[in-house]
Amino acid sequence: MTPKRDSAVRVGLVYPELLGTYGDRGNAVVLVQRLRWRGHDAELVEVNAGAPVPDSLDLYLFGGGEDDPQVMASAGMRASRAAIDRARAGGAALLAVCAGFQLIGHSYEAADSTMIDGLGLVDAVTRAGPNRLIGELVVEPDPPLPVLTGFENHGGRTTLGPGERPLGRVLARTGEGGDTEGVVGDRLIGTYMHGPVLPRNPALADLLLSWVVGPLEPLESALEERLRGERLDAGTASGVRRWWRERLLARG
């Protein structure tokens, strides 16, 4: 049994009005619930748009968003940079999804060519791509994480610097978006996977939680496994369909 902390684990949902377009709030719900199921006190803290991001949270969640809300969110995040740095230096973990992932890099180029400065927590830049990538995504991370699934919907293409480690290799996706996905850093995960990603991939939720509370006992997960199976099937089927389409096109 993991020794319990004196205080509740504070899971912070940052600017959900701006960075919550694709249901990423579900990630916070899953993290809190998986802690409670194991007997930990846990609290969901919402940091409303425009408010300073506090340094007192244990886990920070930056979600996805459309370009305009993303510009607004980035200003508040940059203004809170010192607090975020303090929290991370004190051991806090961070999950950044899509727009959130783009904003933990150095910069994001929006579809209308506006350049947005990010936090620079990882060595990454995002440029506007030629089209939007929309569809199921299947990613193979390094062990011990199992294959992950998500849903992506974004125009930006993120390039990691040479010192950064991707979250995994892309096994299947619907468009041409590169062979790797996301980033893993020091108590930090960035990813393009919505879904939301954590209900679909409880192992990823538990990895984040273990960074905050230490090793965790396993949970019964028949329902989650059923969802994983179904989404793996959907994602791989779309990858296979794309492969056939490309072969047919190549034949002319």
Determine if 17 is a binding residue for ligand GLN (CB under 6 A): no
Distance CA 193, CA 26 (A): 13
- 69, containing H or E segment: helix 67-79
Phi-psi map region of 120: left, alpha, beta (phi>0 left; psi -120 to 50 alpha): left
CB 124 within 8 A of CB 158: yes
Determine if 46 is a binding residue for ligand GLN (CB under 6 A): no
Binding segment for ligand GLN among 9-17, 151-159, 208-216, 232-240 (CB under 6 A)?
151-159
Nearest to 225 by CA among 170, 156, 149, 169: 149
Interface mask (CB under 6 A) for ligand GLN, residues 152-191, using x and -?
A: -xxxx-----------------------------------
Determine if 136 is a binding residue for ligand GLN (CB under 6 A): no
To the nearest whole angstrom, how small is the minimum distance from the Cβ of residue 117 to ligand GLN? 15
To the nearest whole angstrom, how small is the minimum distance from the Cβ of residue 39 to ligand GLN? 34
Determine if 67 is a binding residue for ligand GLN (CB under 6 A): yes
Determine if 70 is a binding residue for ligand GLN (CB under 6 A): yes
Determine if 64 is a binding residue for ligand GLN (CB under 6 A): yes
Determine if 151 is a binding residue for ligand GLN (CB under 6 A): no
Distance CA 127, CA 58 (A): 31
Determine if 96 is a binding residue for ligand GLN (CB under 6 A): no
Nearest to 94 by CA among 53, 135, 125, 66: 53
Determine if 95 is a binding residue for ligand GLN (CB under 6 A): no
Binding segment for ligand GLN among 5-13, 60-68, 71-79, 142-150 (CB under 6 A)?
60-68
CB atoms within 10 A of CB 56: 14
To the nearest whole angstrom, how small is the minimum distance from the Cβ of residue 24 to ligand GLN? 8
To the nearest whole angstrom, how small is the minimum distance from the Cβ of residue 14 to ligand GLN? 13
Nearest to 81 by CA among 41, 36, 121: 121
Distance CA 76, CA 158 (A): 22
Nearest to 126 by CA among 201, 184, 177, 58: 177
CA 127-22-91 angle, 5° bins: 75
To the nearest whole angstrom, how small is the minimum distance from the Cβ of residue 144 to ligand GLN? 28
Determine if 16 is a binding residue for ligand GLN (CB under 6 A): no
Chain contacts with ligand GLN (rule: CB under 6 A) = 22, 64-67, 70, 98-99, 153-156
